[in-house]
Amino acid sequence: MTLRIGIDYGGTKIEAAALSPEGSVLYRRRTATPDSYDLVLTTLRDLVADVEREIGADASVGIGTPGSMEPASGMIRNANAACLNGRPFKRDLETVLAREVRLANDANCFALSEAIDGAGAGRASVFGLIIGTGCGAGYVLDGKLVGGAHALAGEVGHMPLPDPQPDELPAPLCWCGLKGCLESWVSGTGFQRAFHSATGRDLDSKTIVAAAQGGEPEAVEALHRYRDRLARGLSVVANLIDPDVIVLGGGMSNVEPIYEGLAEAIRLRTFSGIWKGDVVQARWGDSSGVRGAALLWGLEETLARA
Ligand SMILES: [Zn+2]
Q: Residue 50 belongs to a domain with what CATH number?
A: 3.30.420.40
User: 48 C-alpha vs ligand 1 centroid, how far in Å?
Assistant: 34
User: 183 C-alpha vs ligand 1 centroid, how far in Å?
Assistant: 6
In this structure, is residue 250 part of a structural domain?
yes
In this structure, is residue 164 part of a structural domain?
yes
User: 251 C-alpha vs ligand 1 centroid, how far in Å?
Assistant: 19
Q: Residues 192, 243: one domain?
A: yes
- The Cα 205–Cα 31 span in angstroms is 27
In this structure, is residue 155 part of a structural domain?
yes
Q: Residues 194, 237: one domain?
A: yes
Q: Residues 59, 27: one domain?
A: yes
CB 208 within 8 A of CB 219: yes
User: 254 C-alpha vs ligand 1 centroid, how far in Å?
Assistant: 23
Q: Find all residues with CB under 8 Å of 219, minimum gap 6, and list them.
A: 195, 208, 209, 211, 212
Instruction: Specify the number of domains making up the chain.
Output: 2
Q: Residues 14, 70: one domain?
A: yes
Q: Residues 244, 195: one domain?
A: yes
> Residue 81 gets which letter from DSSP?
S
CB 130 within 8 A of CB 78: no
Q: Are strands 144-145 and 135-141 parallel, antiparallel or unpaired?
A: antiparallel
User: 224 C-alpha vs ligand 1 centroid, how far in Å?
Assistant: 23
Per-residue confidence in pLDDT tens, the chain, 306 aa? 589 999 999 888 999 999 988 888 999 999 999 999 999 999 999 999 999 999 999 999 999 999 899 999 999 998 877 899 999 999 999 999 999 999 999 999 999 999 999 999 999 999 999 999 899 999 999 999 999 999 899 999 999 999 999 999 999 999 999 999 999 999 999 999 999 999 999 999 999 999 999 999 999 999 999 999 999 999 999 999 999 999 999 999 999 999 999 999 999 999 999 999 999 999 998 888 999 999 999 865 444 443
In this structure, is residue 220 part of a structural domain?
yes
Q: Domain range spanning residue 193?
A: 121-282
In this structure, is residue 156 part of a structural domain?
yes
Q: Which of 55, 75, 109 is the last residue of a domain?
A: 109
Q: Residues 133, 81: one domain?
A: no
> Max CA-CA distance within the chain?
61
- The Cα 147–Cα 164 span in angstroms is 29
User: 273 C-alpha vs ligand 1 centroid, how far in Å?
Assistant: 28
Q: Residues 175, 278: one domain?
A: yes
Per DSSP, the residues of 28-52 read EEEEEPPSSHHHHHHHHHHHHHHHH
Q: Residues 156, 261: one domain?
A: yes
User: 142 C-alpha vs ligand 1 centroid, how far in Å?
Assistant: 29
Q: Are strands 245-249 and 125-131 parallel, antiparallel or unpaired?
A: parallel
Q: Which of 109, 134, 164 is the last residue of a domain?
A: 109
Spatial strand order of the sheet with 25-32 comes to 25-32, 13-19, 4-9, 60-65, 101-105
User: 235 C-alpha vs ligand 1 centroid, how far in Å?
Assistant: 18
In this structure, is residue 273 part of a structural domain?
yes
Long-range (24+ apart) CB contacts under 8 A made by 66-72 are 66/9, 66/10, 66/11, 66/105, 66/106, 67/105, 68/105, 68/151, 68/152, 69/103, 69/151, 70/150, 70/151, 71/147, 71/149, 71/150, 71/151
- The Cα 218–Cα 290 span in angstroms is 38
In this structure, is residue 302 part of a structural domain?
no
User: 222 C-alpha vs ligand 1 centroid, how far in Å?
Assistant: 21
User: 80 C-alpha vs ligand 1 centroid, how far in Å?
Assistant: 13
Q: Residues 215, 177: one domain?
A: yes
CB 113 within 8 A of CB 277: no
User: 233 C-alpha vs ligand 1 centroid, how far in Å?
Assistant: 13
Q: Residues 160, 70: one domain?
A: no
In this structure, is residue 115 part of a structural domain?
no
